[in-house]
Amino acid sequence: MVRGLPQIEHVNQVCDSCLTGKQRRLAFPAEAKYRAAHKLELMHGDICGPVTPTTPSGNKLFFLLVDDLSRYMGSSS
């Protein structure tokens, strides 16, 4: 039990902060609206990290690139 806080009489009310804190993002669609028709037409990239242990060259981050059509992945650190 926490001491020093006032008793709340209106427990059925929901404040704006509570609503904002409990918001959820919509789910990602199961299928993309657009798919590439040719290699390198659409690329997806992400910076990943920090990772441990570090890479042999001492990097903690790496860049991942994916071709939409072939799903070929390449990375660089």
pLDDT given at position 32: 86
9 CB neighbour count, 10 Å cutoff: 7
CA distance 33 to 45: 18
CB-CB contact of 63 with 76 (8 Å):
yes
pLDDT given at position 1: 63
Averaged in consecutive runs of 10 residues, what is the pLDDT profile of the chain (77 residues)?
77 76 81 93 96 91 96 93
